[in-house]
Structure 1
């Protein structure tokens, strides 16, 4: 059990002032973005791909573009969908065209829509739809999707227009691609377009001939299998009449292959002093040219500047990824670190072969490397190199951890300070003394960690001791000590001590402020660790929460009665009015000589045991003095208040103090917080003590 003190006062109308103590220390206390998404949209002409990207085209008139793979636009009459497959050695690419909504269809002009062909004076070599116009509504949706991350995709829209005769307008067509950030062109002679360029409407009464009002729909970068939607609507009708629209010249673009190389450490650096700290330089190159080099920053296990960013590759080319150690004394050697790497391709179905052999060590250059070969269009490859200190490295001891907000991701708010619902009790990451993935580190000026011999003396360290926790965004709240073996000769343990600044907005600890670490033979890297069942076996982290996120919730109830000395506290109902039962509402107009019974409920909504809980309540003296009255105080469980308790006696004014008791943590399988209750009775006096 951890111990911490909390002070709290509650005023509910005519009540006593209540002080609550808990344990040992009173102190003031995306969806991640797709990394391959281009920072800027590559430029390209309407209906074409960005330069160097590969085009896949479906239609009757392939453009003069290279490289390109094309096929005809075949369609079975009346079929609402079709999948077009491009069979290639680098993996099949599929293009889905689907009409999930089809209303008001007219089958008198070429068969049941959709159908492929040309409509005289309207469309050419297109998938055609003909609709009646009985009302204004969306009459079809068109979805496209590709099984690859695409840099661009689109198609042509033919014969978007209106018409009019005898003073009536039967239809005004509109297309809308705003749902997935599509873009449209328009012909000002026949169309209007909104400022976002994603909704085009025909101009009332203007009818175009074949090829006169063709527009383009296009979407830029999208992940694989994203459904890109177009809505076609009739926005106006004065009489029912058929109208046609066609879709043709479908295409999508695949960018040249790309790679991101990332760097991670499983434990601390071999050399990690202010005068000589290991960093890692990673290079991506082909047989003749270096494409990208980046060098890490950071201390201990923390790696900043940890990736290459997106690097574009050429197809059918071999690339080498090389890492080496750099430091101020030029004595770094990658052999001091064991290395593992993983390479993954975000593009499903690609036949590009990821490297599988171990990294190769070059003794003369003191580097390790692996190769990537035969990458192809659309590949999005991420390789991560992870190092840990080698068993043959000149070991130093490292001690590392983090000061963190143990809120389980719940923002501290006064409105939820007394919330004992499943929001808190079912969130097993909340107030559990463990740094979880939905929690963040804490930085404050003066928030320091000391490494000591457990007798108050700081241990000599090659890193600052004491040290202020990191303020860097990638490592906020973290600390790391690097200590030579000689500094710990003969020691069996060390202590890490947290020193909090004053003032300090995190008013409550969820872990102790001194973490004792037992040194183990041949173990040099000490950090928070869990066993295979997820239980923490060593904790070098320091948990904090703000006052509004405290685990302990105190609720106070009062009941006004006519001084029944045999009153059974547990049998008094909880009601809205304090004259009919225990209530949190104020007790007004209490007559002298009446009694007020109190019920204090203490809840532990957190996931850490609370020990040495004690409730202290001083009965009021002014403006009217009251005294304690029968029946005697009662605790539930009985450990809250024992018969040997030294509180003020019955018949006197004074303070009632509960015995110290434990309030166990909320069970991981329960939505109800643990609870303890203290009951006592007072007689509202007749003597006015006001001056």
Structure 2
């Protein structure tokens, strides 16, 4: 049906209008259901099943939340329409050309547009008369509206078209008086087929799902290609109506994170979402140590204006653990801007009876896309390590307590042997039988936790002591781990028996507190005693005396028999540190034999030459001619070094 405006300036148009009126009179006799079925080709708004519709227009058949189609003021470029929950639809015009005064405006033109947002232009040829943009501040699953009275007039003044600019849009429910082109993104009225009840002009434009604040854009133009001039005395008008959009129900994803390691090695976390009519939805984590796998729920569909509870608990194998063993923080965020949904901010609520924590999510709204992340940290502090055989891979059959060779053989160039460091690739393995305690360093009788080291296979020798903050009771500046052992196996330590803990209240996991031990045959210090029979000269150059097989000719480890009283025996004691750690506070002591003690039949005394002042202190040693204990100064024997000590004694003269 031709637009009223178009009939004002042409006699032919008035005659045509009279003809149309006669046709309308005839059509009035036709049952109304026929007219309604053919006069309006557009479809009613429809949303995906379960999604909420919001509508802007005059239809009374829909129960969706509505806003009245109006315009802020004639000539204004945009208007904002507000719905509930902070939801807004903004319509705006731009790139406006040849528009008549007073437009855009909302009204109905009899036989042309019905309750529509109208734009009226003079009919100069131009590709874009105006651009219509809609934005919605939530993600939508569908958006659309109706175009009214897009046509071409018989006088050849205009051929209207609408183009979809943004992706995802399409035309539907249009009659055969239109042509679609431009990869189905432009719809154009066919020339000489003006709108009429039998040739309806109304049709739909719709978009599929888009993110929040995505612009939905169309352009309108007059592209009558045969016009010889762009000037015109006539007008054309187009109307937009029945705007609607769809929002998906609120969505929720819950994520689980862990900072630090599990209090118990097999702890797993179960998250449950409940409330409203939603079926209880839960998931349970997997993973070990500080690793969380399977730590994200499926996308959970919620209901608007409903309260929900998110609950976490810990399972220790098949046993219900206590979530109080972990501190918890959580953050909930909404990907939908402008939402009025209340994000929870208070602390999680603890249930002592259920051993759970939970928080509430309330007033969720359609279109919300909420993600809540729960992060746990152990509220107990864990101290762990291994008691291990620090043999550097030297087996018990290879080990020898007297092997002082550090240039060749199994003890040579072995940086893993006796270094106080656990080297599993040496290979070194754990050993059982020790007890590790967490104690007060000053008063070791104050024990906060203790574990006997057992295990088998790859876990042998490993220990883990977990204590709560309440157990420590603020005594965190003086914490030590000590390792103890009874029995004769692995009698020698390769590091200190006590380790001081550098404690921090925000650090919950203290690993690699390892203690090394070795069997007696793998001792780090090898002492070797040589003796040389001499005639007690006033001086001896010890370093010029070679090692021989017999003590009669040089330093030898062989025994002396049938020694004549009054002769002297010089001694060389070699101290070899074949370990890879310092031997601190080394003192060599040797007690001269005294008649009647330990089966001695004679008494020996210290003889010339005098003791080296580099190695000995005179005040700590007997005088020349006196019996007693020979004692060196205190030394540090560096790793993989040897040091020799010398002194001369005179064998007793009385049997």
- Specify the SS of the correspondent of 1:283: strand
Partner residue of 1:76 out of 52, 73, 76: 73
- Specify the SS of the correspondent of 2:188: strand
How many angstroms apart in 2 are the aligned matches of 1:289 and 1:256?
A: 12
How many angstroms apart in 2 are the aligned matches of 1:76 and 1:138?
A: 23
User: 2:189 maps to which residue?
Assistant: 202
- Specify the SS of the correspondent of 2:324: helix
- Specify the SS of the correspondent of 2:340: coil
Contact 1:159 1:209 in 2 (8 A): no
Q: Deviation string for 1:14-51 (max 9, x for gaps)?
A: xxxxxxxxxxxxxxxxxxxxxxxxxxxxxxx7523334
Contact 2:78 2:90 in 1 (8 A): yes
- Specify the SS of the correspondent of 1:335: helix
Q: 1:266 to 1:118 in 2, by over 3 A?
A: same
Deviation at 1:292, TM superposition (A): 1.4
Using the size of structure 1 for normalisation, the TM-score is: 0.48
User: 2:201 maps to which residue?
Assistant: 213
User: 1:311 maps to which residue?
Assistant: 300
Q: Deviation string for 1:202-247 (max 9, x for gaps)?
A: 2343221379121112223333332211122333332245322111
Contact 2:163 2:187 in 1 (8 A): yes
For 1:562-573, list aligned pairs within 5 A.
none
Deviation at 1:129, TM superposition (A): 1.6
Structure ranking higher on relative contact order (CA contacts 8 Å, 6+ apart) = 1
Contact 1:284 1:292 in 2 (8 A): yes
Contact 1:147 1:225 in 2 (8 A): yes
How many angstroms apart in 2 are the aligned matches of 1:288 and 1:251?
A: 27
User: 1:670 maps to which residue?
Assistant: none
Q: Deviation string for 1:436-456 (max 9, x for gaps)?
A: xxxxxxxxxxxxxxxx73695
How many angstroms apart in 2 are the aligned matches of 1:69 and 1:134?
A: 37
Partner residue of 1:49 out of 44, 47, 66: 47
Contact 2:378 2:508 in 1 (8 A): no
Q: 1:162 to 1:324 in 2, by over 3 A?
A: same
Q: Which has the larger radius of gyration?
A: 2
Matched, 1:254 2:247: yes
Partner residue of 2:105 out of 106, 115, 134: 115
How many angstroms apart in 2 are the aligned matches of 1:460 and 1:139?
A: 84
User: 2:92 maps to which residue?
Assistant: 98
User: 1:157 maps to which residue?
Assistant: 147
How many angstroms apart in 2 are the aligned matches of 1:237 and 1:264?
A: 64
Matched, 1:64 2:53: no
Q: Root-mean-square deviation (CA), in Å?
A: 3.6
Deviation at 1:387, TM superposition (A): 0.7
How many angstroms apart in 1 are the aligned matches of 2:243 and 2:108?
A: 16
Contact 1:341 1:385 in 2 (8 A): yes
For 1:364-513, list aligned pairs within 5 A.
364-391=353-380, 395-396=383-384, 453=422, 457=426, 484-485=462-463
Q: Deviation string for 1:39-69 (max 9, x for gaps)?
A: xxxxxx752333443333222x234233423
Q: Deviation string for 1:173-218 (max 9, x for gaps)?
A: 2222242322221424112335965432323432213791211122
Matched, 1:521 2:502: yes
How many angstroms apart in 2 are the aligned matches of 1:330 and 1:359?
A: 23
Matched, 1:176 2:173: no
Deviation at 1:97, TM superposition (A): 0.9
Partner residue of 1:223 out of 211, 227, 236: 211
Matched, 1:263 2:246: no
Q: 1:385 to 1:81 in 2, by over 3 A?
A: same
How many angstroms apart in 2 are the aligned matches of 1:358 and 1:482?
A: 41
Deviation at 1:369, TM superposition (A): 1.4
Deviation at 1:313, TM superposition (A): 1.5
- Specify the SS of the correspondent of 1:83: strand
How many angstroms apart in 1 are the aligned matches of 2:350 and 2:173?
A: 59
User: 2:437 maps to which residue?
Assistant: none
Q: 1:483 to 1:177 in 2, by over 3 A?
A: farther
Contact 2:384 2:464 in 1 (8 A): no
Deviation at 1:120, TM superposition (A): 4.1
**Count, aligned residues:** 370
Deviation at 1:385, TM superposition (A): 0.5
How many angstroms apart in 1 are the aligned matches of 2:224 and 2:347?
A: 67
Deviation at 1:85, TM superposition (A): 2.5
User: 2:487 maps to which residue?
Assistant: none
How many angstroms apart in 2 are the aligned matches of 1:124 and 1:95?
A: 21
Partner residue of 1:187 out of 174, 177, 180: 174
How many angstroms apart in 2 are the aligned matches of 1:159 and 1:353?
A: 45
Q: 1:142 to 1:483 in 2, by over 3 A?
A: farther
User: 1:586 maps to which residue?
Assistant: none
Gaps of 5+ in 1: 1-44, 399-451, 462-480, 492-517, 528-691
Using the size of structure 2 for normalisation, the TM-score is: 0.50
Deviation at 1:350, TM superposition (A): 3.1
Matched, 1:334 2:323: yes
Q: Deviation string for 1:116-140 (max 9, x for gaps)?
A: 2233442222121223343342221
Q: 1:397 to 1:209 in 2, by over 3 A?
A: farther
Q: 1:486 to 1:57 in 2, by over 3 A?
A: closer
Q: 1:112 to 1:298 in 2, by over 3 A?
A: same
Gaps of 5+ in 2: 1-42, 387-420, 431-458, 466-479, 484-498, 512-655
